[in-house]
Structure 1
Amino acid sequence: MKRLIFSLLFCGWAGLLSAQMIINDQSIRYQQERMVFKQWDKNKFTPKPGFLYTNPLYWLTWAWHTDYKNHDLRPLSATGPQTQRLALVLAMQNTDNAYALHADTLGKVALGESMNYSGLLSDADPLWLLYYRHQFDPLLSQQDNTLLDGLTAKERSYLTSSGLLTWYQEESHALAERLNAARATTVDRGSRLIAYHRMLDDFRKLEATWETKKQRAKLFLSLSDSAKGLKSPAGSISLPPGKTDQQIADEILLKSKL
């Protein structure tokens, strides 16, 4: 029994030894080194041809592959398939990065354009916050019941009965609607600012016209009161003795300024 076990162990050891000897074959090791990590060295192709190419092992190995050692077949050589694959992967990665950068750029541009065009963000426009909001504040916060504040009862009655108050209210409301539409409409920022500029000019003209009409109302009522004071109870104008028409006109104008 012991002899049988010893024989089996000896055979196994001999098999492993022979296998190790095959794995450590110099030609195989050189081929493995060439194909994996080392340089394609023509001087390490074994077996050698020998003296005058008389080595039979050389002919048995390389007779049908005489040009084999002249071509670098390493996968990681300069032109090897693995090198080409890695170069292709790197090129594809660079292309993907370029596409990603382009897509990010387009996304940022689209976001910026949407911010410029969207009416929802018009209130956050720096120029609106710094300038136009304050200029249009009297129009946006206008109260119709305070338009005649500071005027006398006669002036209020005259502006109301003559339709000037209604005219100003309609014009100011129309301008406020135009302003709100420009703020809410989806349009590019440049066009929106141009619309602000034009409406601000219209608003200033409207305010100047309204102030002029109020001043003229005061002048008209003053002239009307002066003319009534010059009339007699019978309806005729009493001309003071010794006064010319020029003096009478000067007196009327003097009273209208008071």
Structure 2
Amino acid sequence: MEQVVANGLYLGAQYALIALGLTLIFALMNVLNFAHGQMYVLGGFVTYEIYGQLRWPFVVALFASAITLAVLGGLIERLLFRTVIRRSVREESTMLLAAGIAYFLDAVILLLFGEKQRGVPKIVPGVLRAGDIIMPYDRIVVGGLAVLFIVGFILMMQYTRPGRAMRALAQDRIAAQLMGVPVEFYSLLGFALGAMLAGLVGGLLVTITGVNSGIGGPISLKAFLMVMIGGAGVVGGAIAGGFILGMLESVGLTVLHAYGDITYLVIFAALLIFLAIRPNGLMGKPWG
């Protein structure tokens, strides 16, 4: 049981970091970023190229992944979403745009990196053994970094001027604009920050699970699951949803493995029942 809990906490920290980026973009812009998983994949491949191929330090590769995805996110918001939001009278237009970006990035990733699974050397060798718990040191480091990034994000949102401005924008866009908040700038900043979080977790997890061009869609699906569990646009909900999904996956893979690959079948069934009872998630904020 201790091993199951340790695995669940490790997975939850990664998943919460993924969900934070998605829920931030939704809270600021009311946009479902279907390309969030593809951004994760790009972050993984940037780290693979710099750390795995060029053999530069892992910290440099992770920083490059974060910057690359932040720039990409900013460009997507500035050149695509802002234009569509300004000109369109239907909210569905942003959903179609996000889906189109996801398919485009899938094609670009496949063209640039191919279909093969790619991995990198371990960042820390060795295994920790503590009672019934066996945990590789690299997983401990990756989990610790994920928690550190989550705490840093929360502190930034609570105590910095940009964080307060983005929170005001998420609560009431029109009121924030009337109070002098430059909403377009903070929308761009928020989208870039959300993409950066996806790039960071992609860079972290490539050291554990590797990366390939086909996992963008499943990662986006997991991110939506976490957001639905916690509540759309709620930072605390995203974190809670990430840890809940991580724990459910850990328990499911341990308990249900004898029955075949049915872990996510059970998780989806439980989610349907949960949403029927609490359609706005644990922390309750409606979709839009």
In the superposition, the TM-score normalised over structure 1's length comes to: 0.23
In the superposition, the TM-score normalised over structure 2's length comes to: 0.21
Higher relative contact order (CA 8 A, sep 6+): 2
